């Protein structure tokens, strides 16, 4: 009984902090329809600001000031950036918020340094209180009460004030609210500031409870996404219910089922999405009249594209004449990430299936190749052949459930699948080596050098890219696009939309798995982070930089992103700031991506030539 009580209260205390982040995230999505990837960074910013202010103002004065400071940052983010992107595709908005994460991460690093910080104890709540004879930290009990108190305040705000009525109305029908004369700009700014304030408050309240570190934002945003999806997008009560469920699951799971702790909450999210996609207290998603993603401006003709592809292959083949071993290694890495980005473009751009967990197939391919190579002593050829086959088999097994969903629900289910696989590789030491990874994945002698491995990567990636491109030009590819643009009309015309999407997802997974197998041999090892969120985000960034509906654009985006990353990493410790600013410039100046910008330039030249 004592154990149950202590774990129950610990779970409720954790649920309060998780609820504050998830409630803000849910409010922002409900009104603006933006999946704010930077919300966890706002939480982390609130913690660091409260830590600094508590040394001067005292902890209790620092908490509200830190929350208001984060609210101001959120309002500035909405006015200066996101307000320009409300009519843009959802994925472009996600890319912009990811760029904000990169910028804020390095600004926080500059201000507070790389070391973890420990905040002061909360004055007046530093001791313990006995509950049923058991000593419970007083601050934990305070946090237990914070969640319901904030829920009550937000509920009263949303149900008893004019602002709350407008927020609820905008959640249901933004277009009607605008037609009634409500100033959407002010409403969106206020909602974004309120959501940021809740995140900042949650971060500030964590200062006496745990060490504040620079990976906190990623930890929090992943759990917040789970809570928001399980509770129901746009539902604040649902966020609290789900926060309690997930926090208690973690509190008891870490003691009763330590080997499966990481996977439990994602299994819950996956089950909810399959059985009740709108979440426990959410409403079914209703499509809005917004652009899915405008097609890029006219691209080069088929002949011109073929010439460009031949020149690119020839340039890579000639690279050893100009580049040393390091440069050739970078080029080989660019090739396999170009294949990863192109495979995601095939799923998202061609098939309309947004994936936040594409690293799952990349990681499955990497682990399949590594395990065959080290555990079964298979040769490199066999291991690399197994990589795409294993990824395709894994996708075939789960994609039938994935393709039943669409939009943000599909994206979140792909994230759940990727995190389940990540947790399995991280904790299954007997098979995967856990966080120690699998070492000694070395290529065969002829490919062990930089030049040999570059030619190996070119010899596998170029045909795989050509096969994906060819698939987009076949009846199968046209059927995928038909299902993306109008599923009902496609079904009426005899296109088996769900089967097409299932097979298309699996084909893209095979390509990503091949990239993962090459990655294992390039690095000589594989670790669970091959399936992690950063890899999925990198693939999304590459695809969106190039242009979501351009196959060649995804390749160009991979080249541009990896070159910018490598260049800035070698030039400065604060490379994330540079990459983030570059992404923001590209998002605002070229919303259709590099391919769209190149297409518009070609169209302008063509019109200029005709006029002359």
Rounded to whole angstroms, the Cα distance separating 191 from 195 reads 6
pLDDT for position 48: 96
CA angle 484, 487, 493 (to 5 degrees): 115
Query: CA–CA separation, 316 vs 212, rounded Å?
Result: 45
Mean pLDDT computed over 229-242? 88
CA distance 549 to 10: 47
Closest CA to 154 of 70, 28, 36, 50: 28
Q: Which of 543, 476, 538 is nearest to 507 (CA)?
A: 476
Max CA separation in the chain (angstroms): 91
**What is the rounded CA–CA span in Å between residue 228 and residue 280?**
10
521-575: per-residue pLDDT in tens? 999 999 999 999 889 989 998 998 888 888 888 888 899 889 988 888 888 888 8
pLDDT band at residue 610 under the 50/70/90 scheme: low
Residue that is written with structure tokens 């004055």 in the block: 123
Alpha helices in 257-299 (DSSP H): 261-275
Which range, 467-476, 579-588, 589-598, has the best average confidence (pLDDT)? 467-476
pLDDT tens per residue across span 46-82: 999 999 999 899 999 999 999 999 999 999 999 999 8
Q: How far is CA 427 from the centre of its chain?
A: 22
- Angstrom distance (rounded) from CA 395 to CA 509: 6
Give the model's pLDDT for residue 348: 92
Q: Is residue 159 within a helix (H) or strand (E), and if so which, with residue range?
A: helix 138-160
pTM, full prediction: 0.87
User: pLDDT per residue over 112-141, tens digit each?
Assistant: 998 898 888 899 888 888 777 777 888 989
Report yes or no: 133 and 227 within 8 Å, Cβ to Cβ: no
- Rounded mean pLDDT, 302-321: 75
pLDDT of 608 above 90? no
């Amino acid at each position: 009984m004592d154990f149950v009580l202590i774990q129950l209260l610990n779970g409720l205390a954790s649920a309060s902090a998780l609820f504050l982040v998830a409630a803000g995230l849910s409010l922002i999505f409900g009104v603006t329809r933006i999946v704010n990837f930077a919300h966890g960074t706002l939480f982390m910013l609130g913690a660091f600001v409260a830590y600094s202010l508590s040394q001067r103002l005292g902890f209790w004065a620092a908490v509200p000031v830190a929350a208001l400071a984060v609210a101001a940052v959120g309002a500035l983010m909405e006015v200066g950036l996101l307000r320009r992107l409300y009519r843009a595709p959802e994925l472009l908005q996600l890319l912009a918020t990811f760029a904000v994460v990169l910028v804020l991460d390095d600004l926080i690093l500059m201000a507070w340094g790389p070391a973890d910080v420990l905040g002061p104890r909360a004055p007046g709540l530093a001791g313990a209180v006995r509950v049923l004879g058991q000593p419970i930290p007083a601050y934990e009990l305070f946090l237990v009460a914070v969640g319901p108190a904030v829920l009550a305040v937000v509920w009263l705000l949303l149900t008893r004030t004019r602002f709350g009525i407008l927020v609820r109305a905008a959640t249901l029908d933004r277009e009607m609210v605008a037609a009634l004369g409500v100033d959407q700009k002010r409403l969106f700014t206020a909602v974004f500031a309120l959501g940021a304030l809740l995140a900042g408050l949650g971060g500030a309240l964590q200062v006496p409870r745990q060490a504040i570190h620079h990976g906190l934002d990623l930890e929090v945003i992943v759990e917040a996404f789970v809570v928001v999806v399980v509770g129901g997008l746009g539902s604040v009560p649902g966020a609290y219910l789900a926060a309690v469920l997930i926090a208690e699951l973690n509190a008891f799971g870490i003691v009763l089922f330590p080997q499966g702790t990481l996977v439990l909450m994602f299994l819950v999210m996956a089950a909810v999405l399959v059985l009740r996609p709108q979440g426990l207290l959410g409403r079914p998603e209703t499509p809005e009249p917004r652009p899915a993603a405008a097609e890029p401006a006219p691209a080069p003709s088929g002949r011109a594209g073929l010439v460009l592809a031949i020149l690119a292959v020839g340039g890579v083949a000639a690279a050893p004449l100009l580049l040393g071993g390091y440069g050739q290694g970078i080029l080989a890495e660019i090739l396999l990430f170009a294949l990863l980005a192109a495979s995601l473009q095939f799923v998202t751009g061609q098939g309309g299936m947004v994936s936040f967990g594409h690293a799952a197939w990349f990681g499955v391919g990497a682990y399949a190749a590594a395990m065959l190579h080290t555990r079964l002593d298979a040769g490199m050829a066999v291991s690399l052949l197994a990589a795409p086959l294993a990824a395709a088999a894994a996708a075939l097994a789960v994609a039938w459930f994935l393709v039943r969903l669409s939009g943000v629900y599909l994206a979140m289910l792909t994230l759940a699948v990727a995190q389940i696989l990540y947790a399995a590789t991280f904790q299954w030491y007997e098979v995967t080596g856990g966080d120690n990874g699998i070492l000694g994945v070395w290529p065969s002698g002829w490919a062990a050098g930089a030049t040999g491995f570059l030619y190996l990567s070119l010899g596998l990636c170029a045909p795989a890219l050509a096969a994906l491109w060819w698939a987009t030009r076949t009846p199968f590819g046209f059927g995928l696009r038909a299902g993306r643009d109008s599923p009902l009309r496609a079904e009426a015309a005899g296109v088996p939309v769900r089967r097409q999407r299932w097979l298309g997802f699996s084909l893209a997974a095979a390509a990503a798995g091949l990239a993962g197998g090459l990655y294992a041999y390039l690095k000589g090892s594989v670790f669970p982070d091959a399936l992690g969120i950063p890899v999925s985000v990198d693939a999304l960034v590459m695809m969106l930089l190039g242009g979501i509906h351009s196959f060649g654009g995804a390749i160009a985006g991979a080249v541009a992103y990896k070159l910018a990353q490598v260049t800035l990493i070698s030039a400065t410790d604060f490379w994330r700031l540079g990459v983030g600013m570059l992404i923001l410039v590209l998002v605002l100046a070229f919303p259709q991506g590099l391919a769209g910008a190149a297409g518009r330039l070609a169209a302008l030249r063509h019109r200029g030539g005709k006029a002359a």
